[in-house]
Amino acid sequence: MSRIGNKPIPLPKGIKVEFADSRVRVTGPKGTLEREIRPELSLAQDNANLLVITENNDKKTMALKGMTRSLVNNMVVGVDKGFLLRLAIEGVGYKAEVDRSTLKLSVGYSNQVLFDLPAGVTASVDKTNTITLEAIDKELLGMTAATIRAIRKPEPYKGKGIRYEFEHIVRKVGKSGSK
């Protein structure tokens, strides 16, 4: 039984949710998000809460209920507050800069790596070489951050590369000197 799926989704003021033909549209001050949900699930609004309702209670449907509740909750939070993710760049000479919707990375390759940001994701770089990504779609933000991180993954000896700000790199001991 899904305990997450049974929780109501709180709707802050200014958030409008429309549900028709298995499509959910959430509109708020930051923008609009839309998603297709499974036909065996539906949404019901109760005061300032949103509930996910199932047609039957079999195991697969209950699992989908919990996932759908989390996805719709992320949509509500995204259009209300938005999401933020930071990537740290470590390494001598490693740097990043943003030019409109292109992220220019100098991360140890012979040429700069140009990364085009998807629509809906904005980036900024501060003086400590930290890339801050912002978006209203949590899924798109996570995929973008993972793609940027994959350009130069952190290596275990010196920790050089692009990593999430909260990520801890387990360091390995290098070669020992001659004895």
Looking at the DSSP bridge assignments, the partners of residue 135 are 83
pLDDT of residue 159: 87
Instruction: State how far the Cα of 164 lies from the Cα of 137, in Å rounded to an integer.
Output: 18
Q: Which CATH architecture has domain 83-164?
A: Alpha-Beta Complex (3.90)
pLDDT of residue 5: 86
pLDDT tens track for 76-128:
999 999 999 999 999 999 999 999 999 999 999 999 999 999 999 999 999 98
pLDDT of residue 177: 53
Looking at the chain, the domain(s) classified CATH 3.90.930.12 span 3-80, 83-164
Model pTM above 0.75: yes
pLDDT tens track for 27-69:
999 999 999 999 999 999 988 899 999 988 888 888 899 999 9
Residue 73 tokens, joined: 């909750």
For 3-80, which CATH superfamily applies?
Ribosomal protein L6 (3.90.930.12)
pLDDT of residue 139: 95
Helix (H, G, I), strand (E, B) or coil at 94: coil
pLDDT of residue 174: 80
Strands (E), the chain: 9-10, 16-20, 23-28, 31-36, 41-46, 49-54, 83-90, 95-99, 102-106, 113-116, 122-125, 130-135, 161-164
pLDDT of residue 1: 53
- DSSP for 146-171, written as a single string: HHHHHHSPPPTTT--EEEETT--PPP
Q: How confident is the model at residue 2 (pLDDT cuts 50, 70, 90)?
A: low
Instruction: State how far the Cα of 19 lies from the Cα of 40, in Å rounded to an integer.
Output: 14
Nearest to 68 by CA among 106, 24, 108: 24
Q: How confident is the model at residue 179 (pLDDT cuts 50, 70, 90)?
A: low
Residue 171 has pLDDT above 80, yes or no: yes
